[in-house]
Chain A
Amino acid sequence: MSSVQLQVFLQTVIQGFLLGGLYALLGIGMTIIMGVMKIINLAHGELMMVAMYIAFVLFSAFHMDPYLSVVIAAPALFLLGVGIQKYLINPVLKVDSILPENQVILTVGIGMVLVNVATIVFKSDYRQTPVDYSTKAWYLSDFWRTSPIELSLSLPWTVSFVIAVLITGGLWFFLTRTDLGKSIRATAQDQDAAILMGVNVQRVRMITFGLGSALVGAAGCLFIPIYYIYPDIGGQFTLIAFVITILGGLGSTVGAIIGGLILGLFESLTATYIGMGWAPVGRFIIFVAALIFLPGGVASLIRTRKFGK
């Protein structure tokens, strides 16, 4: 492998890793909703789109930095998520019907409404937040002058990745060290037992849906300096989040992080070595392969190999 090839390869891997960190945040939001509520939220990417537009509006009206808008967008999405759970999903869980997949179809309907309202309000133009650091980059040679190979790291990608890692860390702390976090994990493990232990499952469900939405909202704000936005952007991210969830193992947070990283790497590699247009196909090949060869996801591997806990 010549040094140029090596350079391209390393660059691809790093890029995939950074992307994977953001994907992980996206996947965690979906996986905790799935773990607690046992439903697939197909409006996940659309919620992210809402957060991206909140960040966009804050930027264009008040010149607020997209990274700062996490503080506003995430709580806003939390409230939106709680509202959706309370007024739309809960009533459906109660009605009896022939098809049990009604909740999934319901979230599709919610997603359609969100996308369409965004199209009406913001038009389908591609928009972005032109921040001055969006094209800045780090170079390996800045730190290591005699380096034989040259690597570059985009500044916004790095910052987004670091914030994503911080948020994930905060979430981990919340889930393992606080009472509320413990009741969420208890409900995910065994709902009936959680009720018997005095957990208010209704409240936990609402908070979980809100939390999942807030996480994807934060991910949206982190994506903004890198991506452009348009109302339909959500759909692909819903699929990405779902693929990560399957890859990681349903309801497993650690699995979602690993799944996100694997997917990020794989997509980056497909885009470099096969072609940009095929990156989404790579995503689905991973998905199908995971379904067939590793139906329990990475989480099942962790469990059998007794990694970690």
Chain B
Amino acid sequence: MTAPWSAGEEPQVYPIARSGDVVHIRQAIRALSQQCRLSLVDQTKMITAASELARNTLTYGGGGTVSAGMVSVDGRRGVAAVFEDSGPGISDVEQAMTDGWTSGGGLGLGLSGARRLVDDFQLRTAPGEGTAVTIIKWVR
């Protein structure tokens, strides 16, 4: 498991099954980011990244879940979210991470853009084995 959660900081798990869930996830990440006292710009970046990844999970992964919560490592605090699906996975990760490349009808900014908006970004995927994306935004 690459879950970033530290002891005593159990994440909440939210379903990503329909378009309305993306709105709920944005709200949940907003609440966490405020609780964690991320700056306004960092909150906005984290919520936007989560929105992109939640939509990816729905559109390309056929739905899944997101686990979101606070993390603390070496005295640093942050907000983390793990997006998981059991969809087709990504065969060419490098291509998928390229600005403007899309396998669907999108703009191709979801993965690459989300990576730029957060501090830590980890993509775990294999063809036929789904996709898991972990993002973290640390308090400065």
A and B pair up: no
Which chain A residues have a beta carbon within 8 Å of chain B's beta carbons? Answer: none
User: What residues of chain B have their CB less than 8 Å away from a CB belonging to chain A?
Assistant: none
